Amino acid sequence: MTEKAGTLRIGSGAGWWGDRIEPARWNAERGELDFLCFETMAEATVSAAQVRKRRDPGFPGYDTWLDDRMRAVLPHCKANGTRIVSNQGWIDPLAAARRVAALCAEAGWRDARVAAIQASDLTADIARRELAIMESGAPVSTIGATLISAEPYAGAEAIVQALDQGADIVITGRVADPSLFLAPMMHHYGWRADDWQRLGQGSGIGHLLECGAQVTGGYFGDPGYKDVPQPWNLAFPYADVAADGTAEIGKVAGTGGCIDLRTVKEQMFYEVHDPARYITPDVVVDFTTARLAQAGADRVRVSGIGGRARTDTLKVSMGCTEGYIGEDMFFFAGPGCLEKARLAETILRERLSDLQCEDLRIDFLGLNAVHGAASAPPACAPAEIALRIAARCATRAQAERIGREVDGMAVCGLASTGKRVPHQDRVREVIGLWSTLVPRDTVRCTVQFV
């Protein structure tokens, strides 16, 4: 494609699986967007999807909020000519694309072209390759017996292909977060896949948008230090991107939150280990050369983000079965509640001394649950204590001991023990996540229209 005049407006529709839906509707309805991009798939999301699929064969494998999100935005996207890119396909992008097509028909958008992008499934043979686990250095073969999934991080190129072929909506699985936003820029302006400077700038802008309201004050507010207007009314951001990748970050008028140099800087370095070498499947981004300028109320201009040639490898996220976690809580309140909690901990540790488990934790919420042994002693006697107990075990039966022993504390423990009714599942399967690198030519992405 040839470069087009003007700017391209790309908006965020979600920053994670559980994100709010209303700000996506505002962007679709009032944002005057060219593209709306949803990022709902993190490593933990993949793990949760794999667990649910093992437990419930009827689980379709895609974002559990897909219907709600699409119903909120599809009528506005159709009316405004906004195209959608989303990784809500999770572990079955084709099923998600088929569902989106049905939702388009329901919304009166019967001629919408919906494409699914699927990357190579490496599960069957990755343990036989001579690869190392990034986190430990051990051979991947050492987790072969417990391996249930091996999903590579794909980049922007297959999305660009789908958009070039006329897709109105593109549904993907495990695609790197910035790539969802970079692809519309590459498609619209005809950027080459080896134009490292522009891809670096575009991926940097994608990184600013990928976490939704975090750049509009959603993961920023700190009362009295960093105040945010109307935090109950936070918008998701959009970016007006020029042909050279220079962009201005903004939001829909009349919404809460704020966009300034502080919010943009915090998001720029969020989850970035090395700002000079932020590795994506498309390009290695260099944030150290970025230039930021306040361009108006709730507008920040971003330029100068660097880019270098992409790596010869792609990251693969591997899921492995790692047992079960049993977890429950109970409470004490009033005078002496801390002393009762400490005695309750002793009782439970004695009763569970024969439990075979990887780890047993008993936390006092509000006192030591975050900092553990490094927690400072309370300045005064607390008025209430919540005890959380959890253990990771090899089998479900072992993990179920946690809830049973907490039940026993109700009448076989201490005075004034408060117990919640255990309506929720107190045992959950654990899917551990490990990473490795594979040669780039190992991974192939396909585009399928539905």
Contact 446, 158 (CB under 8 A): yes
The pLDDT value recorded for residue 42 is 83
The DSSP bridge pattern shows strands 313-333 and 284-286 to be: unpaired
CB 388 within 8 A of CB 329: yes
- Res 55: pLDDT: 83
The CA distance from 49 to 60, in Å, is 9
Residue 114: how many other CB atoms lie within 10 Å: 24
- Which residues on adjacent β-strands are paired with residue 446? 118
Whole-Å CA distances, 2 to 136, 240, 329, 335, 384: 46, 19, 60, 74, 65
Distances (CA, A) of 340 to 325, 336, 391, 417, 421: 25, 6, 21, 9, 21
Q: What is the pLDDT of residue 106?
A: 96
Nearest CA-CA partner of 29 in 256, 255, 263: 255
The DSSP secondary-structure symbol of 385 reads: E
Q: How far apart are CA 61 and CA 195, in angstroms?
A: 35
Query: What pLDDT score was predicted for residue 421?
Result: 73
Q: Predicted confidence band at 444 (pLDDT cuts at 50, 70, 90)?
A: very high
Predicted local confidence at residue 364, as pLDDT: 97
Strand partners of residue 37: 12, 85
Residue ranges of alpha helices (H) inside 296-420 are 337-351, 396-408
pLDDT of res. 286 = 98
Model pLDDT for residues 81-130, shown as the tens digit of each residue: 999 999 999 999 999 999 999 999 999 999 999 999 999 989 999 999 99
pLDDT tens digits, one per residue of 317-331: 999 999 999 999 999
**Average of per-residue pLDDT values in the chain:** 94
Residue 3 in this model has a pLDDT that exceeds 60: no
- Which residue would you say has higher pLDDT here, 419 or 190? 190
Instruction: State the DSSP H helix or E strand holding residue 250, giving kind and residue range, or none if neither.
Output: strand 247-250
Distance CA(12)–CA(181), nearest Å, equals 9
pLDDT band at 36 (very low <50, low <70, confident <90, very high): very high
Cα 259 from chain centre = 22
Beta bridge mates, 447? 117
Residue 368 contacts residue 375 (beta carbons within 8 Å): yes
DSSP 298: T
Q: How confident is the model at residue 269 (pLDDT cuts 50, 70, 90)?
A: very high
Q: Is the pLDDT of residue 194 over 70?
A: yes
pLDDT digits (tens, 9 = 90+) for 406-435: 999 988 999 989 987 766 789 999 988 999
On the question of pLDDT at 314 being above 60, the answer is yes
pLDDT of 423: 61
CA distance 441 to 5: 35
Q: Is there a contact between 302 and 247 (Cβ–Cβ < 8 Å)?
A: yes
- Taking alpha carbons only, the member of 162, 165, 189 closest to residue 175 is 162
DSSP per position, 323-339 = EEEEEEEEEEESTTHHH
Mean pLDDT of the region 23-40: 98
The CATH architecture that domain 318-433 belongs to is 2-Layer Sandwich (3.30)
The torsion angle over the Cα atoms of residues 135, 139, 142 and 146, rounded to 10 degrees, is 60
For the cut 60, the answer to whether the pLDDT of residue 222 exceeds it is: yes
* pLDDT attached to residue 49: 87
pLDDT, position 78 = 98
**Contact yes or no for 341/412 (Cβ under 8 A):** no
- List where CATH 3.30.70 sits in the chain: 318-433
- Residue 195 in tokens: 């134009």
Q: Rounded distance, CA 447 to CA 330, Å?
A: 51
Beta strands 35-38 and 8-14 are parallel
- For residue 40, the tally of other CB atoms under 10 A from its CB is 24
Task: State the pairing for strand pair 238-241/306-308.
Answer: unpaired
Q: Which amino acid is residue 48, in one-letter code?
A: A
Residue 370 has pLDDT above 60, yes or no: yes
Residue type, 111: D
CA 136 vs. chain centroid, Å, equals 23
pLDDT at 2: 35
Q: With cut-offs at 50, 70 and 90, classify the pLDDT of residue 4.
A: very low
Please state the rounded mean pLDDT for residues 274-293: 98
Those residues with Cβ within 8 angstroms of residue 74's Cβ, 6 or more apart along the chain or in another chain:
103, 104, 107, 109
Burial of 309 (0-12, 13-18, 19+ CB in 10 A): exposed
